[in-house]
């Protein structure tokens, strides 16, 4: 168990270091002079010099990289050139939209997918299974931003149950959750379709195993065998997908935020791209990648919790 955790931990650190180098190179080295890139061709020489000093471009590459990384570790992401505020503050404001949205969507996706997958697997080949499979085929093909537009058309414009977009903050938690509901559904359903399919096929594999036959032979009903033995064993591939999905939800959230005009990280990153504010883009991308790597690390550890066999394997 300890060896396994240490192994995962070292690959976590390596991934983070390499990812940060890649992002640093793409943003700060490939454009040549990032300051000139950010300010465009009509920039005045003194503005350019100010930005160069601000970004520390007069220093050697390695020093700049280390400066950036150690700054981030201490929570200092630099200052936005366009907003004139610390990037950490900008992220801090917006993460309270993006993170709850991803978690909300992930929970919805699990809540829909688990029962659907288990139901389909237990009815394999019968009408219920065929319906679930058909629906998931459709769900997988659904672009989430288009689905979001359809949801707005039905539930915001025609039925007027929800607002068509915007976010007023967490002062009124009920309203906040309400305005995140349509975006979360739009994000969750296509992902739930994938998850339900994985749950179903994983469960069907497990239901064919000898230990399930043994469980039935010792007198458990089909239902008891399913719930006590099969579902838990079917969770391992499902966990992998959940880990991958979280990264899709974070990235997909960037698009859904555009549909619903939510002031999250997605909007921040697009505003920064059009303003060529590379300092913000660099930090937000690093933060997203950091989250994805961390989530996959946690999933790797969760395997061990679900599957004790992995503990001895190391």
Partner 1 sequence: MNRNLLIGAALSTVFLCLAALSFFWTPYDIETLDISNKLQGFSLTHWLGTDHFGRDILSMIMMGARTSIAVALLAVGIGVTLGIPLGLTAAARRGSVLDELIMRGNDLIFAFPSLIIAILITAVFGASTINAIIAIGIFNIPVFARLTRAAALPLWERDFILAARVCGKSQARISLEHILPNITNLMIVQGTIQFSLGILAEAALSYIGLGAQPPTASWGRMLADAQTLVIIAPFTALVPGFAIVLMVLGLNLLGDGLRDWLDPKLRVDRT
Binding site for partner 1 (CB under 8 A): 11, 14-15, 18-19, 22-23, 26-27, 30-31, 37, 137-138, 140-143, 145-146, 149-150, 152-153, 157, 244, 247-248, 250-252, 254-255, 258-259, 269-270, 272-273, 278, 281, 285, 288-289, 292-293, 296
Closer of 142 and 175 to partner 1 (Cβ) = 142
CA–CA dist 256, 13 (Å, integer): 31
Closer of 61 and 177 to partner 1 (Cβ) = 61
Residues 6+ apart with CB under 8 A from 30: none
Q: Nearest approach, Cβ of 187 to partner 1 (angstroms)? A: 12
Closer of 184 and 252 to partner 1 (Cβ) = 252
Q: Nearest approach, Cβ of 118 to partner 1 (angstroms)? A: 20
Q: Tabulate helix, strand, coil % of the chain (nearest 5).
A: 80, 0, 20
Quick check: 186 and 259 in contact, CB under 8 A? yes
How large is the angle between the packed helices 87-122 and 265-274, nearest 10 degrees?
Answer: 130
Q: Nearest approach, Cβ of 266 to partner 1 (angstroms)? A: 8
Q: Nearest approach, Cβ of 173 to partner 1 (angstroms)? A: 28
Closer of 31 and 227 to partner 1 (Cβ) = 31
Got the DSSP string for 211-274? HHHHHHHTT--HHHHIIIIIHHHHHHHHHHHHHHHHHHHHHHHHHHHHHHT--SHHHHHHHHHH
Strands of the chain (E only): list them.
none
CA–CA dist 184, 182 (Å, integer): 5
Q: Nearest approach, Cβ of 258 to partner 1 (angstroms)? A: 6
Closer of 4 and 227 to partner 1 (Cβ) = 4
Closer of 12 and 220 to partner 1 (Cβ) = 12
Residues 6+ apart with CB under 8 A from 36: 43, 48
Q: Nearest approach, Cβ of 228 to partner 1 (angstroms)? A: 26
């Amino acid at each position: 168990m300890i060896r396994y955790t240490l192994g995962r931990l070292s690959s976590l650190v390596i991934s983070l270091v390499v990812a940060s180098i890649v992002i640093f190179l793409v943003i700060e080295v490939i454009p040549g002079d990032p300051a000139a890139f950010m300010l465009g061709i009509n920039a005045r020489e003194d503005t350019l010099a100010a930005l160069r000093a601000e970004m520390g471009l007069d220093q050697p590459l390695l020093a700049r990289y280390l400066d950036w990384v150690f700054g981030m570790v201490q929570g200092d992401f630099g200052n936005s050139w366009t907003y004139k505020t610390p990037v950490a503050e900008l992220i801090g404001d917006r993460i309270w939209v993006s993170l709850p949205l991803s978690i909300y969507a992930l929970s919805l996706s699990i809540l829909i997918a688990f029962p659907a997958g288990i139901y389909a697997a237990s009815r394999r080949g019968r009408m219920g299974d065929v319906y679930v499979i058909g629906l998931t085929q459709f769900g997988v093909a659904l672009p989430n931003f288009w689905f979001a537009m359809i949801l707005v058309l039905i539930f915001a414009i025609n039925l007027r149950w929800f607002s068509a977009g915007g976010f007023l903050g967490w002062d009124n938690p009920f309203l906040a959750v309400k305005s995140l509901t349509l975006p979360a559904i739009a994000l969750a359903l296509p992902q739930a379709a994938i998850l339900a399919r994985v749950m179903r096929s994983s469960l069907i594999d497990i239901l064919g195993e000898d230990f399930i036959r043994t469980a039935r032979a010792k007198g458990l009903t089909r239902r008891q065998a399913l719930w006590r033995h099969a579902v838990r064993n079917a969770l391992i591939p499902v966990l992998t997908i959940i880990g991958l999905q979280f990264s899709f939800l974070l990235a997909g959230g960037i698009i859904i935020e555009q549909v619903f005009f939510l002031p999250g990280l997605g909007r921040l990153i697009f505003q920064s791209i059009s303003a060529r504010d590379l300092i913000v883009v660099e930090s937000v991308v690093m933060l997203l990648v950091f989250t994805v790597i961390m989530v996959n690390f946690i999933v790797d550890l969760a395997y061990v919790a679900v599957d004790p066999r992995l503990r001895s394997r190391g």
